[in-house]
Chain A
């Protein structure tokens, strides 16, 4: 599973589901959470560009959607877009305000995937990268997430990655994120909502783990696609994971 390469014939679909509720305006280091997310999104898209270049030409190896949610849901790119098409209009810059309707965000993702899935059977399993900084303020999204994770292509079920932007959730804080093993079990987490998101997350596929570790990280076998977004380095790592589809 999860070995199909992202190629022009079989592009990888990545959907970013971003919480843009008002709390994302809170400070985080020398900046705000939402500014950090915008930088990480740009870095992830840049990684995809790097991984899609051939002869100085950007190949159509990735397709992206960006769904932003607060009280409302915005389909930022107006559906799933080829990477070259997205770049013609520039990388989106997200602004934060309002409440946290996580379930509505996942419902939009489910709808996008349902429409796309028949065309994606030969492609790498789609990946949903969800980033949030706090507890949902409306319905519990668990049942929708389960339906999304039950969607499947030949390469494997849809992958769900969660990034939780909060401090102090790791029982054993890492000194060096490059050496960090990843989150292996719920007890590694000190926060109830972190454990909730951990349980919704897919296991990190071996191909993704190897591709990430080629960047100098040391994620362990058995780690989940769950990342604490407590520093810009970690958010960057988590977004890099989202683009770490196998290449040919």
Chain B
């Protein structure tokens, strides 16, 4: 993997950068509470391309605030699932077999990560009742996250009349309310995993809570992929039309709202060649 970017959970970030087949835009903004407390963002995003960027694997995770250190689960799963996606063989896959394999992987990741989490000490200055809640949350729920991860295999471009189209195979998997939009034209998208699913999640203590969705897709002409967390749910349908300034302004303005949450947008646009 040569092209790689992952978020630092202690820093806000806005970046637009080119890669071999297009450009990447990433907005990563901590919520107001985290900024005030200098605590980590509970979202996490990672993207990695292979040597020639024809395969791109990515994850966007949103740690569950009420769980034990949701930022930990988001980071752990975000890294693990990108690695898992990257080693998958190319070509068409059976959705059911893939789902089974992923379920087994996620169970193993729970086992490994929860042991790690249990070794972390609660600060000695923590008030007794807070310690009690933290320890109950750690043993009962562990660290939890929702996520959406994707592998994109870009195929050879095709000529259709005077148009060049970019076919792609995509493998998508998700739990909970991280949303995606797959654009098959500059202004036409199909929404995956509409907002509102707050039941399905991955837990270090309990493994899968709910079910993981896995879809293999062949897209005849992939233009763009947008993935965003629920901190931006109120403008989810509009993100594709926002330029960089509008997107950053919206994120900053949202911080003044009582209901503000961590915000992540990962926006990959493929160039037409």
* Bitwise interface map of A from 212 to 248 toward B, beta carbon under 8 Å scored 1, else 0: 0000000000000000000000000000000000001
Is A8 an interface position by the 8 A CB rule?
yes
The CA-CA distance from A54 to B71 in the complex, in Å, is 9
Closest chain B CB from A63 CB (angstroms) = 15
The CA-CA distance from A207 to B170 in the complex, in Å, is 40
- B-contacting 9-mer, from A45-53, A72-80, A161-169: A45-53
Name B39's contact: one of A46, A50, A57, A84 (CB within 8 Å): A57
Closest chain A CB from B138 CB (angstroms) = 9
The CA-CA distance from A157 to B210 in the complex, in Å, is 39
Given A53-B137, A59-B33, A248-B260, verify A91-B129 contact (CB < 8 Å). yes
* Bitwise interface map of B from 231 to 273 toward A, beta carbon under 8 Å scored 1, else 0: 0000000000000000000000000101111000000000000
Given A7-B258, A248-B259, verify A49-B33 contact (CB < 8 Å). no
Is B65 an interface position by the 8 A CB rule?
yes
Is A5 an interface position by the 8 A CB rule?
yes
Cβ contact within 8 Å between A54 and B34: yes
Name B42's contact: one of A5, A10, A55 (CB within 8 Å): A55
Is A122 an interface position by the 8 A CB rule?
yes
Interface residues of B in 5-50 (CB under 8 A from A): 32-34, 36-37, 39-40, 42
Is B97 an interface position by the 8 A CB rule?
no
Is B132 an interface position by the 8 A CB rule?
yes
The CA-CA distance from A248 to B256 in the complex, in Å, is 13
Is A58 an interface position by the 8 A CB rule?
yes
Interface size on A, residues (CB 8 A): 26
The CA-CA distance from A91 to B36 in the complex, in Å, is 26
Interface size on B, residues (CB 8 A): 28
The CA-CA distance from A220 to B175 in the complex, in Å, is 32
Cβ contact within 8 Å between B134 and A53: yes
Cβ contact within 8 Å between B36 and A53: no
Cβ contact within 8 Å between A51 and B66: yes
Name B32's contact: one of A8, A42, A56 (CB within 8 Å): A8
Cβ contact within 8 Å between A59 and B122: no
Cβ contact within 8 Å between B69 and A56: yes
Contacts of B147 in A (CB 8 A): none
* Bitwise interface map of A from 1 to 20 toward B, beta carbon under 8 Å scored 1, else 0: 00011011110000000000
The CA-CA distance from A58 to B122 in the complex, in Å, is 13
The residue on B at minimum CB distance from A8 is: B33
Is B91 an interface position by the 8 A CB rule?
no
Name B258's contact: one of A59, A84, A88, A122 (CB within 8 Å): A122
Is A87 an interface position by the 8 A CB rule?
yes
Cβ contact within 8 Å between A46 and B66: no
Interface residues of A in 169-227 (CB under 8 A from B): none
Cβ contact within 8 Å between A5 and B258: yes
The residue on A at minimum CB distance from B120 is: A56
Given A7-B33, A8-B32, A91-B129, verify A55-B258 contact (CB < 8 Å). no
Is B133 an interface position by the 8 A CB rule?
yes
Cβ contact within 8 Å between A50 and B66: yes
Closest chain B CB from A4 CB (angstroms) = 7
Name A56's contact: one of B68, B132, B261 (CB within 8 Å): B68
Given A10-B258, A50-B66, verify A55-B133 contact (CB < 8 Å). no
Is B78 an interface position by the 8 A CB rule?
no
Cβ contact within 8 Å between B127 and A88: yes
The residue on B at minimum CB distance from A59 is: B33
Cβ contact within 8 Å between B132 and A9: no
The CA-CA distance from A8 to B42 in the complex, in Å, is 17
By Cβ-Cβ distance, the 6 closest A-B pairs, closest first, are: A248-B259, A87-B127, A55-B39, A10-B258, A7-B258, A49-B133
Subset of 25 A-B contacts with CB under 8 Å? A5-B259, A7-B33, A7-B259, A7-B260, A9-B32, A9-B258, A45-B129, A46-B132, A50-B133, A53-B65, A54-B42, A54-B65, A55-B40, A55-B42, A55-B69, A56-B68, A56-B122, A56-B134, A57-B39, A58-B127, A59-B33, A87-B129, A90-B127, A90-B128, A248-B260
Which residues of B are at the interface with A, using a C-beta cutoff of 8 A? Answer: 32-34, 36-37, 39-40, 42, 65-66, 68-71, 122, 127-130, 132-134, 137, 256, 258-261
12 additional A-B pairs beyond A55-B40, A55-B69, beta carbons within 8 Å, are A5-B259, A7-B33, A46-B133, A51-B66, A53-B133, A53-B137, A54-B33, A54-B34, A55-B37, A55-B70, A248-B258, A248-B259
